[in-house]
């Protein structure tokens, strides 16, 4: 385990140097990893584990679009692709990668197969952290572990194929076998993590829900809309407004931040841009700080979890969700984005 210094705060992380893939394979050589769910995280984690030589099977509802996707991805019915019940029975490690709402619905089906000595693996601590609301209470004689990639399953797979990795957190909720830590680290390496940092189920949920609603998705879209609308109201064209709001950020500046940090990106922009950014960043920080405090409190009190449970369990949730996404997709800003993306030079 490596120790990193983050501005004076020491943190233990696990890298591939001290925990190479061969070690992960050795630890998991007698395990059968049963991945329940083949939606968002399932495909990326399953295929990365398979490509890394880990024994993986899929549990999925038959006659579904995700069952068909699993077949297209090379999983063979009756050999590596089974019903949820059969995969859970065969598996010694159960990776529970259904959506939060689906985890609640399927839990009564899964629980009988969580027999002594098995491991129950999550990539989001939602179900266990809010167990009083979800009813997901694991048996006491199994390991309960978490490895959570910091990105989508699509990104996890894409970076894996590029020879890179997506950083992941890991946590142990319950160690019944004495092997929980080696199991979760081996799985984290196996799914293609760049490195693993330690957390707990509660902190993973709180940071994840805050991030999704904040800078990762909710806040960034709100900021995009605000700037785009101001530019349009002041006579700027859709192309100009979109390029100055989104395209330059995602195509030019964020790659620089990813490479070397925000300070390096600032240093590689014009002095006029530097001065303006430094003058205005504190105003934006101070303006949104109360919103983030309110957001974190809503997560910590369970309000966000309850809203997700209530809305996601409605029978017409998918219809309502698609209507909201369609409104976003059909907005002038993202229609302008569609045109801009089509005009990018082809490699």
Neighbour order of strands in the sheet with 143-149: 2-6, 9-15, 195-198, 168-174, 143-149, 119-122, 93-96, 33-36, 56-59, 81-82
Residue 176 · residue 143 · CB < 8 Å? yes
Active-site residue set: 124
Residues making up the chain, counted from first to last = 347
Cα–Cα distances in Å, from 21 out to 27, 29, 53, 145, 146?
10, 12, 9, 19, 18
Residue 97 · residue 37 · CB < 8 Å? yes
Beta strand 143-149 with 168-174 is antiparallel
Give the distance, in angstroms, between the CA of residue 286 and the centroid of all CA atoms in the same chain.
28
The Cα 158–Cα 160 span in angstroms is: 5
């Amino acid at each position: 385990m490596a120790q990193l210094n983050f501005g004076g705060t020491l943190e233990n992380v696990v890298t591939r140097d001290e925990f190479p893939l061969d070690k992960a394979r050795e630890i998991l050589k007698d395990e059968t990893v049963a991945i329940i769910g083949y939606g968002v995280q399932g495909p990326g984690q399953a295929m990365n584990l398979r490509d890394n030589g880990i024994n993986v099977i899929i549990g999925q509802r038959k006659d579904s679009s995700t069952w068909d996707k699993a077949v297209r991805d090379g999983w063979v019915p009756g050999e590596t692709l089974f019903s949820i019940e059969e995969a859970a029975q065969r598996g010694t490690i159960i990776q529970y990668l259904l959506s939060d709402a689906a985890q609640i619905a399927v839990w009564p089906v899964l629980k009988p197969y969580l027999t002594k000595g098995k491991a129950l693996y999550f990539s989001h601590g939602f179900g266990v952290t809010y167990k009083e609301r979800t009813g997901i209470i694991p048996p006491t004689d199994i390991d309960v572990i978490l490895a959570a990639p910091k990105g989508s399953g699509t990104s996890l797979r894409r970076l894996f194929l590029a020879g890179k990795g997506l950083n992941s957190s890991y946590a142990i909720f319950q160690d019944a076998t004495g092997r929980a830590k080696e199991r979760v680290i081996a799985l984290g390496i196996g799914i293609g993590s760049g490195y693993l940092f330690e957390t707990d189920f509660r902190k993973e949920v709180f940071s994840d829900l805050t991030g999704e609603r904040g800078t990762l998705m909710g806040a960034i879209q709100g900021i995009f809309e605000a700037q785009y609308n101001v530019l349009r109201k002041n006579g700027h064209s859709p192309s100009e407004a979109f390029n100055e709001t989104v395209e330059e950020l995602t195509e030019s500046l964020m790659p620089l931040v990813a490479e070397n940090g925000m300070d390096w990106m600032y240093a590689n922009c014009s002095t006029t841009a530097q001065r303006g950014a430094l003058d205005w960043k504190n105003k934006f920080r101070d303006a949104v700080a109360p919103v983030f405090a309110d957001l974190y409190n809503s997560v910590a009190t369970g309000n966000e979890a309850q809203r997700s449970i209530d809305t996601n369990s409605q029978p017409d949730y998918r219809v309502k969700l698609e209507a909201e996404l369609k409104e976003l997709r059909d907005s002038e800003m993202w229609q302008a984005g569609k045109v801009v993306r089509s005009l990018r030079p082809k490699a």
